[in-house]
Amino acid sequence: MTIGLAHYLVLAAALFIIGLIGLTIRKNIIVLFMCVELMLNSANLTILAYARQFNDSDFHAAALFVMVIAAAEAALGLALVVAMFRYRGTADSTKLTLLKG
Amino acid sequence: MHQINMNFINLIPLFPLLGAIFCFALRDKKPSILCGITASLMVFLSFVSSTASVFALSGAASPAGTETVIVSNNFTWISAGDLKIGCDLMFDRLSAVMLFVVTFVGFLIHIYSIGYMIHDKDSNRFFSYLNLFVFFMIILVTAKNLVLMFVGWEGVGLCSYLLISFWWSDPANAAAGRKAFITNRIGDFAFLSAIFILYWLYKSCGFETGFDFIKLAENFKALSAALPSSGFVVIVDLVCVLLFIGASGKSAQIPLYVWLPDAMAGPTPVSALIHAATMVTAGVYMCVRLGFLFAASALALKIIAFTGVLTAVFAAVIAMAQTDIKKVLAYSTVSQLGFMFIAVGCGAFTSAIFHLATHAFFKSLLFLGAGSVIHSLAGEQDIMKMGGLRKLIPGTFTTFFIGVYAISGLPLMSGFFSKDEILLYSFAGPHSSAIFYALATLASFLTSLYMHRLLFLVFYGSFRGDAKKYGHIHESPAIMTVPLYILAFFSIFSGFIVFFKSLNFKTLLASYQSAIAAANISHSSEYSVMGIALTAAFAGLIAAYKFYISSNDYLSKINNAFAAFIKIQENKFYIDELYDLIIISPLKSVSIFLHKIIDVKFIDDYIVGGTVRGFKYINSALSDAQSGRVQGYLSAMAAGLAVMTVYVLYNSIR
């Protein structure tokens, strides 16, 4: 059995959905970050799968961009989480309801 | 009808309007004599200009056999389709008589009011209303068409309301004002209906009159030819009866008279001007002005005469048992207005206006005299607490005495001539009837009786009031007594106008009189009516003398014999209570039902409140959705995304 494009796409979709569900149901913000990373990686996986399919190296640059942005986002986001934990004493996302109308 | 254009008759209503505006602008300022003087001056100027109009009218040459009218066609007020109603004034001989009464008596009462109202903190407002009243009354009597007349009609009603409840801080006064206003609305409804039917009547026969009195009268003959006679009579009867209902509201006839006695809550000069001399006679004026219509409706004339006779007797009977000096005069006014309507109903329009004019003098004299008595006694109105005032306030006594004699119809006073004419026409006029004559004579006897009762109880005998007050009784100042003297002069002499053939009083209102076939009245019936009228008047005087001066035995005997009747009489035959029971209470129940059930429960609670509650519910649902939990939003977004994805996929597969 050769592993083709469809397998990659199914894997990426599965990862994306796991990340999305984790993002909606988990409470710890650190875990939420991990879920976001999972979704970013699933997107990356899709991009690279198509790059391979169409033999177009421009997509590689896009994947690199995503990784750089993910790294920067993780650094900034973790700093924010730490700052918020110090300020509010919790990292539980359900306690953060300042946007309540 | 010969019309000449003279715009200066516009000045007659203009002056009082300016005075009203001026005084109203000063209403919150400190009361000063300035407003009183300005207001009086404005009415005087109005009097001068109406006198000038009289000269212009009599000087104008007119083709033989026609009556001259001064008109002022100012501008079109209402223009709807081919209906055009002008804001136009006219001045004919009928208006001249009315204007003389309104402006001259009005002027004297304004002067009197300066003295009467000088201590009142709102006297500026008072003079503003009083001038406004004169303005509307002038509009009423000089209006060239029925609709403009209705404006004056409503205007005087408004001023009457404002002045009755002038001292509104007492709820009783405010209630009296409301009663007058609402009772008049009933009459006005009938009046308006008559106007509408009249429009339809003329319009359906192709006449476009704009309600102009002159054109209405001119086209009336052609109208009666254009319609089938039976239908025409029914419509004219209907219009006339409705107009008379309107008149009976304003002129306090049965069954709408109940507001007038309560209207005495206003200041006394108001009672004299509005509720005795001018406004209440507007109904009589309207009937005479539209005399050409009434003359064509025998049914309406019968109803008018019958109502007049009934009112004259009924009000006189009530007047005999009243103890408030102003209430006696109020019922007396109702009774005298009844006399005027007897004259109208018997087709003697000239006599109605004659009695209107003489009544204006002696009744305003009596009211102002009563005001002077009340003023001297520092506000006391109960005649049972008066007595023996003859020596203490001689000026007021003399003039009041003259007023009583004039209204009683004793010889050579104005009331004698005018009342005699009415009795004569009810006896031998074109629409006379023995019952009307007998009852009118009875009313004239009762008039003499209750007026002398008033005179004797107030001015003769000994003082029955608080002994402490006795020392403070003083004559009113000259500014109040001089108008009394002038009015007394006219109360005596205004009746003599019948002797001046050159003034032509009998034909003064010829154009109105001619509508009724001239009656042949023999001299013998003239003298016998006069004799009986005099007997009735003297009988009243003697009866009152026996009862109230010479001995109290008769009175107490009668009081004992008819105790139950007198109790009813004192309570005005419980008419107010009856109206309360059959009209006001059911109306109140319906109003309460409409208020509590329909308005509060159904409209406010279900419809308005229901809408509000619905939106509140939607609001809280939407507000709950915005929980502030980002993950909630995310799941909603994901769900939406999923639905869209499924939809797109489903469509692409299909």
DSSP B116-157: HTTT-TTHHHHHHHHHHHHHHHHHHHHBSBHHHHHHHHHHHH
> Binning pLDDT at 50, 70 and 90, where does residue B498 land?
low
Please give the C-alpha separations between residue A63 and each of A44, A68, A70, B167, B455, in angstroms, as whole numbers. Answer: 6, 9, 10, 93, 120
pLDDT at B369 (0 to 100): 93
B336 with B455, same domain: the answer is: yes
The answer, yes or no, to whether residue B552 has pLDDT greater than 70, is no
Cβ atoms of B306 and B426 closer than 8 Å: no
| Residues A75-91, mean pLDDT to the nearest whole number | 89
Distances (CA, A) of B79 to B85, B208, B212, B420: 6, 12, 14, 46
CA atoms within a 13 Å half-sphere pointing along the CA-CB vector of B228: 2
Mean pLDDT of B590-613: 92
Q: State how far residue B166 is from chain A, nearest Cα, in angstroms.
A: 57
pLDDT score recorded for residue B514? 43
Q: Give me the pLDDT at residue B225, please.
A: 77
Average confidence (pLDDT) over B145-151: 93
Is the model's pLDDT at B503 over the cut of 70? no
Mean predicted lDDT score pLDDT of chain B: 87
Pairing of strands B76-80, B68-72: unpaired
Beta carbons of B332 and B450 less than 8 angstroms apart? yes
Q: Between chains, do A97 and B626 touch, taking CB under 8 Å as contact?
A: no
Does A20 contact B at CB distance below 8 Å?
yes
Residue A8 scores a pLDDT above 90? yes
Cβ–Cβ under 8 Å, residues B5 and B144: no
- Percent composition of chain A: helix, strand, coil (DSSP 3-state, to 5): 80, 0, 20
| C-alpha distance from A55 to closest chain B C-alpha (Å) | 27
Whether A24 is in a domain gets the answer no
Return the pLDDT at B465.
Answer: 79
What 3-state class would DSSP assign to B2?
strand
Q: How far is A23 from chain B (nearest CA, A)?
A: 7
How would you classify the pairing of strands B68-72 and B83-86? unpaired
What's the rounded Cα separation, in Å, for the pair B44 and B50? 10
Do both B486 and B592 map to the same domain? no
The conformation of residue B550, written as its DSSP 8-state character, comes to I
Residue that terminates a domain, selected from B546, B570, B594: B570
List pLDDT tens digits, range B357-416. 999 999 999 999 999 998 888 888 888 888 888 888 999 999 999 999 999 988 888 888
Residue at B161 is within a domain: no
Asked if residue B480 belongs to a domain, the reply is yes
pLDDT band at residue B593 under the 50/70/90 scheme: very high
Domain that holds residue A38: 29-89
B95 in the same domain as B61: yes
pLDDT of residue B306: 93
From the number of C-beta atoms within 10 Å of its C-beta (0-12, 13-18, 19+), residue B83 rates as: middle
Where a domain ends, among B549, B570, B591?
B570
Subunit contact B631:A96, Cβ cutoff 8 A: no
**SS (HEC) of B325-339:** HHHHHHHHHHHHHHH
* Confidence at residue B230, expressed as pLDDT on a 0 to 100 scale: 75
Residue type, B553: D
Same domain for B490 and B589, yes or no, is no
* Residue of A16, A39, A100 to mutate, interface with B, max B Cβ within 10 Å: A100
Are residues B255 and B397 located together in one domain of the fold?
A: yes
CB atoms within 10 A of CB B618: 10
Could you tell me if B587 and B522 lie in one domain? no
- Is the Cβ of A31 closer than 8 Å to some Cβ of chain B? no
Chain B residues inside the 8 Å CB shell of A25: 631
A98 touches chain B (CB under 8 A): yes
pLDDT at B302 exceeding the cut of 50: yes
Residues whose CB is less than 8 angstroms from the CB of residue A99 and which lie 6 or more positions away in sequence, other chains included: B626, B628, B630
Query: What region, left, alpha or beta, does residue A89 occupy, with left being phi > 0 and alpha being psi -120 to 50 degrees?
Result: left
pLDDT at A93: 82
pLDDT (tens digit per residue) in B70-104: 899 988 998 888 888 989 999 988 888 899 999 99
A24 vs B contacts (CB less than 8 Å): 631, 634-635, 638
Does the pLDDT at position B445 exceed 90?
yes
Determine the residue type at B284.
Answer: V
Residues B125 and B231 in one domain: no
How many residues are recorded in chain B? 654
Q: What is the largest CA-CA distance in chain B?
A: 123
Phi, psi of B628 (to 5 degrees): 90, -5
Backbone angles phi, psi at A47, to 5 degrees: -55, -50
What average pLDDT does range B40-60 have in this prediction? 90
Q: Which of A16, A17, A20 to mutate to test the interface with B (most CBs of B within 10 A)?
A: A20
Beta bridge partners of B3: B69
Question: Is the pLDDT assigned to residue A101 strictly greater than 90?
Answer: no
Name chain A contacts of B646, Cβ cutoff 8 Å.
none
- Regarding whether B341 and B269 lie in a shared domain, the answer is yes
Cα B7 to chain center, whole Å? Answer: 28
* Residue A13 contacts B, CB cutoff 8 Å: no
Query: Residue A23 corresponds to which tokens in the numbers above?
Result: 């993002």
A contacts of B637 (beta carbons < 8 Å): none
Report yes or no: B9 and B89 within 8 Å, Cβ to Cβ: yes
Q: Please tell me which residue of chain A has the smallest CA distance to B621.
A: A101
Banded model confidence at residue B434, pLDDT cuts 50, 70, 90? confident
Greater confidence (B520 vs B473) lies with B473
Whether residue B154 is contained in a domain is answered as no
For B251-324, where are the alpha helices, taking DSSP H only?
Answer: 259-262, 268-272, 282-289, 291-294, 298-319
Q: Quick one: which H or E segment has residue B495?
A: none
Looking at the fold, whether B283 and B417 belong to one and the same domain comes out as yes
Q: Is A93 on the interface with B (CB under 8 A)?
A: yes
Q: Is residue A101 situated within a structural domain?
A: no
Considering its fold, how many domains does chain B have in total?
Answer: 3
Dump pLDDT digits (tens) for B505-551.
Answer: 455 555 444 444 445 567 777 788 888 888 888 898 888 888 888 76
Is there a contact between B628 and A98 if contact means CB atoms under 8 Å apart?
yes
Nearest to B277 by CA among B489, B99, B441: B99
Take residue A78 and report the two structure tokens written for it.
């973790």
Q: Does A91 touch chain B (CB under 8 A)?
A: no
Query: Does residue B280 sit in the same domain as residue B356?
Result: yes
Residue A89 has pLDDT above 90, yes or no: no
Tell me the residue type at B162. L
What pLDDT is attached to residue A10? Answer: 94
Q: Tell which wins on pLDDT, B348 or B136.
A: B136
β-pairing verdict for B76-80 and B2-5: unpaired
Q: B526 lies in a domain?
A: yes
The tally of domains found in chain A comes to 1
Q: Closest approach of chain B CAs to the CA of A8, in angstroms?
A: 20
Nearest CA distance, A78 vs chain B (angstrom): 18
A61 within a domain of the structure (yes/no): yes
Query: What is the pLDDT at residue B500?
Result: 59
Chain A residues closer than 8 Å to B621 by CB: none
How much of chain B exceeds pLDDT 90, in percent?
Answer: 48
Choose among A20, A25, A101: nearest Cβ to B626.
A101
Report residue B499's pLDDT band, with 50, 70 and 90 as the boundaries: low
Average pLDDT over residues B341-352: 88
Q: How far is B638 from chain A (nearest CA, A)?
A: 8
pLDDT, tens only, B173-217? 999 999 999 999 999 999 999 999 999 888 888 887 778 888 888
A54: in domain: yes
Task: Tell me the per-residue pLDDT of B233-279, one tens digit each, with 9 for 90 and over.
Answer: 888 999 999 999 999 999 999 889 999 999 998 899 999 999 988 99
- Segment B455-468, tens digit of pLDDT: 998 998 888 877 77
Residues of chain B contacting residue A22, judged by C-beta atoms under 8 Å apart: none
pLDDT for A37-80, tens place per residue?
A: 999 999 999 999 999 888 888 888 999 999 999 999 989 999 99
Rounded CA gap, B642 and B649, in Å? 10
Q: Do residues B199 and B206 make contact, with C-beta atoms less than 8 angstroms apart?
A: no
From A96, which residue of chain B is nearest by alpha-carbon distance?
B629
B539 is a domain residue: yes
Q: What is the ipTM of this complex?
A: 0.83
pLDDT of res. B511: 47
Is A6 touching B (CB cutoff 8 A)? no
Residues of A in contact with B638 (CB under 8 A): 20, 24
Beta strands in B17-88 (DSSP E): 68-72, 76-80, 83-86
> Which residue range(s) make up the domain with B393?
167-198+211-570
- Condensed to tens digits (0 to 9), the pLDDT of residues B608-626 reads 999 999 999 999 988 888 8
**Pair (B127, B220) in one structural domain:** no
**Closest partner residue to A24 among B627, B628, B634, by Cβ?**
B634
User: How does pLDDT run across B238-249, given as a tens digit for each residue?
Assistant: 999 999 999 999
Contact (CB, 8 A) for B395 and B484: yes
Judged by average pLDDT, the poorest of A90-94, B88-92, B149-153, B593-597 is A90-94
Which one of A20, A94, A100 has the shortest CB-CB distance to B638? A20
pLDDT of residue B502: 46
**Closest Cα of chain A to B637: distance in Å?**
10
Of residues A74 and B67, more confidently modeled: A74
Judge if B469 and B485 occupy the same domain: yes
User: How far is residue B149's CA from residue B144's CA, in Å, rounded to a whole number?
Assistant: 7
CA of A98: which chain B residue's CA is closest? Answer: B628
How high is the pLDDT of residue B371?
Answer: 92
Helix (H), strand (E) at residue B414: helix B414-428
Contact list in B for residue A90 (CB cut-off 8 A) is none
Count of pairs with CB atoms under 8 A, one residue in A, one in B: 29
